[in-house]
Structure 1
């Protein structure tokens, strides 16, 4: 992922610094609704079905306080990332049993599996660095979140 990709994938309106719902499915719906409001999802129900089906396959709680619910679906118009931060954490069934406090939803049009995997691996690599996670927790604006991610994936 190129740092400029952040501008396209994660515009400011897809960054929430408000506390998301505490329950996993409600949190996923909250993030999805942000993407719907931004005009990136054509069929909310189909996108939700794809996201929840993915959750049933295997956990998207990757550990270190990170949750990355994701799906490929024709319900989205373009590759999209939605970000939310939680003080109390959301249980994404992570291997380390830690709740997710940094949550990234990835939505990619059907057939974009290479792009999907590239986004997922770039994001996962960046988030393994404690300083990146700390910066995301401390960010005071959507722009600060986006700048942190641009630097992290550069």
Structure 2
């Protein structure tokens, strides 16, 4: 994935540095509202249902303090990646039983399955590096988060 895709997929208005709710479903709704408030959700209820359905299939807690709820849905018209971080952590039922402190939400249109997999794969790979996670914890502005992700995906 091209680092320049970050501007398109994850504009600063999709990055929240406010502490989200600590309960998984409430955190998912919180991030979905960030995407909706940016005008990128056509059907909030449909998007939420797709996210919850995906959560039922298998955990989106990937370990190392990371949660990546994601869905393909016709409830949105363009791919979006939202981000928040949680001081307390959110239980995403990760494989290492650790709470998620860095939470990314990926939403792509139903027709965008290749892009969905590319974004998920690229994001997951970059977040396995300790220095990337540390830089996200240290980021002071949404622009800082964007910068970290551009560098990580370069």
Question: TM-score, normalised to structure 2's length?
Answer: 0.99
1:46 lines up with 2:46 in the alignment? yes
Q: Corresponding residue for 1:104?
A: 104
Distance 1:77 1:13 in 2: 17
Q: Corresponding residue for 1:116?
A: 116
Q: Corresponding residue for 2:37?
A: 37
Task: Provide the aligned length of Structure 1 versus Structure 2.
Answer: 154
Gaps of 5+ in 1: none
Distance 1:48 1:151 in 2: 30
Gaps of 5+ in 2: none
Tell me the CA shift for residue 74 of structure 1.
0.4
Deviation per CA, 1:80-132: give whole Å up to 9, x if none: 00000011100000000000000000000002111100000000000000000
Distance 1:9 1:113 in 2: 15
Question: TM-score, normalised to structure 1's length?
Answer: 0.99
Deviation per CA, 1:10-48: give whole Å up to 9, x if none: 111110111000000000000000111101000000000
CA RMSD of aligned residues (A): 0.4
Alignment of structure 1 residues 1-154 onto 2, 5 Å: 1-154=1-154
Q: Where do 4+ consecutive residues of structure 1 move more than 6 Å?
A: none
